[in-house]
Amino acid sequence: MVNLKWNGKLEKEENYSKMHGTTPFSILDLYPTIRSDLESEESWQNLLIWGENKAIMNSLLEQFSNKISLIYIDPPFGTGGEFNYKIQIGEDGKFVDEIAYSDKWKKGLDSYLSFIQERLILMRDLLTTNGSIYVHLDWHISHYVKLIMDDIFGINNFRNEIIWAYPAASAKTRRFFIRSYDTILFYTKSSEYVFNDDPNIYMEYSNRVKNALKKDEEGTFYYRGGSHNGKKLSRKVYVKQEGTFPRDVWNDVPYIRANINEYQGFSTQKPERLLKRIILASTNEKDLLADFFCGSGTTLSVAEKLGRRWIGCDSNFHAIHISKKRILNINSSNDILKWKLKYGKSPHSFNISGLNKTEILNEKTSTLKVDLQQDDNIVTVELSNYLLPKNKIIPSKIKGKIKVFSDWIDYWAIDYDKQDKPFNNMWFSFRTPKKRKLKLKSEPFLYEKPGVYNLSVKIIDIFGIEFVKSYRIKV
């Protein structure tokens, strides 16, 4: 078999995962009071993890080795560029672009290939024997990554090179043919793998077929024509499905535009309907899947809607924050199986964990003022002011867009009984790209038992700075 050689390549990978000590991550946030009917294991909660994914995967191996049924990743493409997310400000659509991640590699191709090889080895070890992995790339690097995957997963476990073709929105070049597709490499861990013939993954009939469809008393059919000795022959071919089984060129999934409901303001966001086909084909209900470059949370959102358990991680805090809000707001998103309808359900319970929580928690130089309104054992919290840390340098392009103090705030939450444990988000309000209004006053909360409570308020501002302040409540 052909093998790639590059500087820094890991030549002996049999014990690679065992060579690296695990880095335990700690729970930062709890969202336990939402739906909890998904559990195939009694205590399961979905996981959103902030941190470097190689360290996270090493830590996950102890519990999840050979446990994950599907891994989809949309890693950097080796483009040499930088990719943005939008910081949105206030209620009227103002925004500025900030860098989500850099796809620049100091040692060039060598460092990229080592980066992806080390992570693919860990992903293989996390997959179940009948599991699958889909790696989303483009023309920059996919031909190199395919050889690495042949080496790690075995050339016999290569299933498809899927072409996701989409229109080129603003291509200006006349120096080469316009590039308008991505490549998705589909491998399995073994020859025994899950692959479902599910009608919900089917592609629509071509316009020619749709125009020829007719109905009679036996159902929907079209005529398949032919001729013999100059005589035209025809017979009815009855249609059992509302489409055709997918080929390896997918031109029926539109890319993300800013004016659609699922838009999250993340420049490399992928469509939910792309992940729907992958997840339905390669998993069963309640299976566990993972996305170790989760970005805006598309994989997690689709897994949630399809009744799968999920693990997502990203090294960028804003990606984790966007994914969290997307899951919390999932009831108002599109139903993945009936796209024109709203999903209309609350998410299942999940935790947010991290390898390091000291960078953003408890920013003591911030100023938060709240009005606590207490009527016997009923408490209401209202935000009255918020000032950023004094040492925070605020770009003039942002400062000029701020009109009121609440424009700084993207998310706030209340833990009505904060103890020595992760923050329990018992009430929260937040902005999304399509829902910009923020509630500044909480719903009334009833304390059922007399006592002294530690009510904590958490702010996450537009820069991702997290500030927590506590108040003593006597009931």
Q: How do residues 412-446 score in pLDDT, each as one tens digit?
A: 999 999 988 899 999 999 999 999 999 999 999 99
Local confidence band at 226 (pLDDT 50, 70, 90 cut-offs): low
Read off the pTM: 0.90
Where is 208: in which H helix or E strand?
A: helix 207-212
How far the first Cα of the chain sits from its last, in Å, is 72
Instruction: Please report, rounded to a whole number, the percentage of residues in the chain having pLDDT higher than 90.
Output: 60
Calculate the average pLDDT of the chain.
88
User: Which pLDDT band holds residue 168 (cuts at 50, 70, 90)?
Assistant: low
On the question of pLDDT at 394 being above 90, the answer is no
Give 341-389 pLDDT, tens digit per residue. 999 999 999 999 987 554 444 445 568 899 999 999 999 999 999 988 7
Tell which residue, 368, 321, 393, has the closest CA to residue 468: 368
List residues bridging with 223 in a β-sheet: 236
Residue 399 has pLDDT above 70, yes or no: yes
Q: For the chain, give every residue range classified as CATH 2.60.40.10.
A: 367-474
- pLDDT of residue 50 exceeding 50: yes
pLDDT for 19: 56
Fold of 16-201+246-354: Rossmann fold (3.40.50)
> Confidence class of residue 38 from pLDDT cuts 50, 70 and 90?
low
- The 10 Å Cβ neighbour count of residue 37 is 7
Query: If you average pLDDT over residues 317-333, what whole number do you get?
Result: 94
Contact predicate 326/264, CB 8 Å: yes
Instruction: Give the tokens for residue 200.
Output: 């919900």
Strand ordering across the sheet containing 378-387 = 367-375, 378-387, 445-446
Tokens (6 digits) for 352: 């947010």
Structure tokens at 169: 């929105």
The ranges of the chain annotated as CATH 3.40.50.150 are 16-201+246-354
- Per-residue pLDDT, averaged over 233-253, amounts to 87
Q: Which CATH architecture has domain 367-474?
A: Sandwich (2.60)
